[in-house]
Amino acid sequence: MNILSYGLLGLLAREPRSGYDLTQYIKPFWPAKHSQIYPLLGKMEHDGYLTFDLIRQSDKPDKKIYTITSKGIEELKRWIDEPTSDPVNRDEMMLKAYSIWLTDPEKAIRLFEEREKMHAERAVYYESLLVKLKEDDQGEQRYLSPGVPTFSRYILLTKALTDSKNAVEWCQWVLSMLKKG
């Protein structure tokens, strides 16, 4: 049970999903490829944290729908009280920014403009997910109450959105200095 496996349990605690679905949903919060996730799900099933049902499909490939067990729920609750490891942020861009003084300003400008675009696109994406969340809520603002799963999703999406916006602003700030010279 590594950290990723708790992330997967957290998704399955809301509703049963396939490995394929889990790979998509976990991505913004804990990047991982399907080649890491599929074997891990097998191990978690073997250890009794999950069960699965094989769903035969004619139009699309067959799939395994994983469901969390009560043992899985207990393990998830236990984990929340354990010490939390430090965040790990690795961004090649930051290392390039550290050496940007070695290169010519045009190249530096191109680099930061690219990144600004990337983060702006992410911001749009997270914004759209937040809009969807609020639409599903139908004006009842249930997502503002801790204790419902939507609350957790709401605060995470908000964090992802502000992080993206801040990254865009930082790029713009650096660009303004690069263009002044």
Partner DNA sequence: ACTAACATGTAAGTAGTTACATGATTGG
Partner DNA sequence: CCAATCATGTAACTACTTACATGTTAGT
Q: What residues have CB less than 8 Å from 152, skipping those under 6 apart?
A: none
Identify residues 61-80 at the interface with DNA (CB under 7 A).
61-64
Give the integer Cα–Cα distance in Å for 120 and 169: 9
Among residues 43, 134, 142, 153, which is the contact residue for its own copies, using CB under 8 A?
153
Please, what is the minimum distance in Å from the beta carbon of residue 38 to its own copies?
Answer: 19
At 14 the three-state DSSP class reads coil
- Rounded to whole angstroms, what are the CA distances from 63 to 19, 67, 75, 111? 8, 13, 25, 41
- The verdict on 108 binding its own copies (CB under 8 A) reads yes
At 67 the three-state DSSP class reads strand
Q: What residues have CB less than 8 Å from 95, skipping those under 6 apart?
A: none
In the complex with DNA, which residue's Cβ is closer, 63 or 165?
63
In the numeric block, which tokens belong to residue 38? 């599929």
- Rounded to whole angstroms, what are the CA distances from 102 to 40, 66, 91? 43, 51, 19
Residue 115: contacted member of DNA, its own copies, none (CB under 5 to 8 Å, by partner type): its own copies
In the numeric block, which tokens belong to residue 76? 């998830």
- The verdict on 34 binding DNA (CB under 7 A) reads yes
Please, what is the minimum distance in Å from the beta carbon of residue 77 to DNA?
Answer: 20
Residue 62: contacted member of DNA, its own copies, none (CB under 5 to 8 Å, by partner type): DNA
Contacting residues toward its own copies, per CB under 8 A? 3, 6-7, 9-11, 13, 29-31, 73, 76-77, 79-81, 84-103, 105, 107-108, 111, 114-115, 118, 144-149, 151-153, 155-156, 158-159, 162-163, 166, 170, 173-174, 177-178, 181
Contacting residues toward DNA, per CB under 7 A? 2-4, 18-21, 24, 30-36, 38-39, 41-42, 57-64, 88, 90
